[in-house]
Every structure is written in structure tokens, then in C-alpha cells.
Amino acid sequence: MADHLTAAGREAGTLSGMTEREAQEFNGLFVTSFAVFTGIAVVAHILVWIWRPWLQTPEVSAASLDVVQPLLTLIS
């Protein structure tokens, strides 16, 4: 194993310059961070869907236009 180490104590031949242990630690942190980010994004999308569904039926679209109509008359 000692013949695979460089003068800096790193494993020779890796593209990242990290040891196997460092690479595994980074990978674990990356996967955990990605899972947390994805979970937050899913919760955010569910909350926005509850607030304003983006795949609307004609009835919902008409109701949305009825709400906006008085505002449009104020602007124009």
C-alpha cells in the first residue's frame, strides 16, 4: 500500500486527488444533501399545488378569471 502513496500521502492515480475514504465520505454527504434537497422540493411542490394547482379544470380556470376580473378593471 505504501508504494501507491505520493509524497503528500495521497493515493496515486485518482482523478480527484482524494483517498478512497475521503471519496466515500464526500459521496455520503452528497447523497444525504441531495435527498434532503429533493424532500424539501417535493414538500414545496405539494404545498404550492394545494395553494394553486397548475393543472386546472375549466371550472377552476373560470373561477380564477372571475377573481382577477375586478382587478383588471381597476388597472385599465
pLDDT digits (tens, 9 = 90+) for 17-72: 899 999 999 999 999 999 999 999 999 999 988 887 777 777 766 666 677 788 77
Assess contact for 27 and 20: CB atoms under 8 A: no
Residues 6 or more apart in contact with residue 4 via CB below 8 angstroms: 11, 12, 13
Task: With cut-offs at 50, 70 and 90, classify the pLDDT of residue 15.
Answer: confident
